A and B are shown apart, each in its own frame.
Chain A
Amino acid sequence: MSAAAADARALLDVYLTAIRIAIAEQFQYRVANYFYMIGMIVEPVIYLVVWSTIAAQQGGDVGGYTAGRFAAYYIVWTLVRNMNIIFTPYGWEWRIRDGELSGMLLRPLHPIHWDLGYFAGWKFVVIVLWLPLAAVLALIFRPELAPTVLDVIVFAIAIWGAYLIRSVLYWLLGMISFWTTRVGPLFEIIFTAELLLSGRLVPLGLMPEWVQTIADFLPFQWTFGFPIEALVGGLPPDRLLGGLAMQALWITIGAVAIRLVWPIAVRRYSAVGN
């Protein structure tokens, strides 16, 4: 076996172990997980009720979105939202202050691999928990959903692409904690921009043209709107595959940036008291 193949195999072993650990941890808190999931669907149900009401008042649709399409959008939203859960940038403050980072830095493994593997494992539990909730929501709100095989395949890839984009970009953002102690307000600005420009609050197709133009230059829509639209939007193949390419581009940008910034950030690590 070549050295590169051995490295890849060893890294896969780390990921599988991290996934197993995450799943085992989530199984420790089954009830808490269900409450978490129920809490998680409150937000899209509010959006769904509001938009369904507006659609009904406007004669059945808003900008081409019928009540059934809104239902499909926001039910798929619940899964995509959970796939978007990553190691929060706020966690860096705690990770540095508490000394957890010191332990991670002692290991011959870049800490991002643990985060990627652990939160990926978390998703498997979430998907299992999501299925019955999605079924209940579907029975109540009657979504219009008729994806093609390509839509389903692209969606299955895109939700992991979204996870990776968010992981690398917010990991990068979190590293600001190496330079300044309190970075919460900055994160809030970014999260607000993401809420508006990702398709989380409103499908991007309903936003003004200029907002959509801004969104085209940012990564947010590829983490939220694109995976949802891939399944429910009836996008043509070129837009589906183009969307995956855009995801790959943002993942690459984030990964390269981490590779460049991480060694500089680690040099600034003070580890005082930890």
Chain B
Amino acid sequence: MPNASIPNPPPEGASGPAIRVAELRKTFRVPVRGEGLRAAAASLVRRETRDVDAVAGVSFEIAPGEVVGFLGPNGAGKTTTLKMLAGLLHPTGGEATVLGHVPSRRESALLRRITMVMGNRNQLQWDLPALDSFELMRAIYRLPRDEFRRTRDEFVELLEVGDLVRKPVRNLSLGERMKMEIIGALLHQPTVLFLDEPTIGLDVTMQKRIRTFVAEYNRRTGATVLLTSHYMADVQALCKRVVVIHHGRILFDGALAALAADFGATKTISVSLRDGSADLSAYGEVIGEDEGRISLRVPRAAAAETTTLLLRNLPVVDLTIEDPPIEDVIEQVFAGASSLPSAEAVDPAS
């Protein structure tokens, strides 16, 4: 990693948050019309529009060096928020600062210190080797040649792309191209990274390689990272903190571990019995059985009581209580509280 032996200077505004967002809003005005030819003809005369609140007043702060997962279903407002923070979109209301700058002013001093990687977009010269695009980045970001070469070569080594940088981008696989995108986006060693689905469509090995690289970049440079991803493995590997957004509003902002505690409506109780298998459906929803170990899903509030009942009524040799997988928790967050199961434990022995 570049300048690994040299301590990084503290980022501008290091005393405050690297990113500060207060009641940020973005409303898009979109045309609407009914179906059919008549509606199409009517729209020629009078065009109807409606306002869509893509981001409806979100507030959060991110400290320098923090890696935060920004989670939400499609259309939740994640990318719109990221684009406002990167200076691509002008907010409808509210405030945002990144490294002390207002992103919508698009000052060079800010643009030189941030980057945004969009997993489904290609910013490299399609017909040329990635090396040529890297050279363009060097010129645009005014990087001293020695420093540029050192950074480039270290990134190439870390991401194990070797001679691929000499192949035309059009001949690279999706994963290889993504690695080149990330190298190109980080050559100027930005202080703030906005990563929008950086591993989308990649195989597991490639995802892991990119996760490791981002973690290493953060560790060595102290960069602030705001990451959106539908792959929870990305979030679990990189983010201690997550911000969950839905319908343009923040539902949760806190430690990833606390997300399950706050929103996990259920617990998973895994139990092994001395005499092997048994029907435990009366205690909760049986979600799996593997080599005599039965897994039950029970309402979170009933977990303790169910455990007591299991221990009292059955010859238990081993029992564990776990939070559900984070994917399930996120799903529950988005689904809302209406789907929560009943929180009463049932004693089949009574």
Once A17-B139, A266-B106, A270-B28 are accepted as A-B contacts, the answer to whether A105 and B128 lie under 8 Å apart by CB is no
Within 8 A of A (CB), among B99-119: 104, 106, 108, 111-112, 114-116, 118
Residues of chain A lying within 8 A (CB to CB) of residue B116:
102, 106
The residue on A at minimum CB distance from B184 is A103
Once A21-B128, A25-B127, A28-B128 are accepted as A-B contacts, the answer to whether A102 and B87 lie under 8 Å apart by CB is no
CA distance A25 to B125 in the complex (A): 9
Residues of chain B lying within 8 A (CB to CB) of residue A99:
118, 121
What bracket does the count of chain B residues touching chain A fall in?
A: 20 to 34
Main secondary structure of the interface of A (DSSP, over half): helix
Q: Counting CB contacts under 8 A, is B135 at the interface?
A: yes
The residue on A at minimum CB distance from B170 is A28
Within 8 A of A (CB), among B124-175: 125, 127-128, 132, 135-136, 138-142, 168
A10 touches B121 (CB 8 A): no
B89 touches A269 (CB 8 A): yes
Residues of chain A lying within 8 A (CB to CB) of residue B240:
none
Once A14-B140, A17-B136, A24-B132 are accepted as A-B contacts, the answer to whether A108 and B108 lie under 8 Å apart by CB is yes
A271 touches B89 (CB 8 A): yes
A108 touches B88 (CB 8 A): no
B40 to chain A, nearest CB (A): 15
Q: Counting CB contacts under 8 A, is B293 at the interface?
A: no
Number of A-B residue pairs having CB atoms within 8 Å of each other in the complex: 76
CA distance A107 to B136 in the complex (A): 11
Residues of chain A lying within 8 A (CB to CB) of residue B136:
14, 17-18, 21
Q: Counting CB contacts under 8 A, is A274 at the interface?
A: yes
Residues of chain A lying within 8 A (CB to CB) of residue B86:
106
Q: Counting CB contacts under 8 A, is B123 at the interface?
A: yes
Residues of chain B lying within 8 A (CB to CB) of residue A21:
125, 128, 132, 135-136
The residue on A at minimum CB distance from B87 is A105
A13 touches B139 (CB 8 A): yes
B196 to chain A, nearest CB (A): 10
A267 touches B127 (CB 8 A): no
A103 touches B121 (CB 8 A): yes
Residues of chain A lying within 8 A (CB to CB) of residue B142:
10, 13
CA distance A16 to B115 in the complex (A): 24
Contact bitstring A1-38, B, C-beta under 8 A = 1, else 0: 00000000010011011101100110011000000000
Residues of chain B lying within 8 A (CB to CB) of residue A24:
128, 132
Q: Which 8 A-B pairs have the closest CB atoms?
A: A103-B123, A108-B111, A108-B108, A17-B139, A13-B139, A14-B139, A267-B90, A10-B142
Q: Given A25-B125, A108-B140, list of 18 further CB < 8 A pairs?
A: A10-B139, A10-B142, A17-B135, A17-B138, A17-B139, A18-B139, A21-B128, A21-B136, A25-B128, A102-B121, A106-B88, A106-B111, A106-B115, A106-B116, A107-B111, A267-B90, A271-B83, A271-B88
> What is B's interface to A at a CB cutoff of 8 Å?
28, 83, 86-90, 104, 106, 108, 111-112, 114-116, 118, 121, 123, 125, 127-128, 132, 135-136, 138-142, 168
A-B contact pairs, 22 of them (CB 8 A): A13-B139, A13-B142, A14-B136, A17-B136, A18-B139, A21-B125, A21-B135, A25-B125, A99-B118, A99-B121, A102-B88, A105-B88, A105-B106, A106-B88, A106-B111, A106-B114, A108-B141, A266-B90, A266-B106, A269-B88, A270-B89, A271-B83
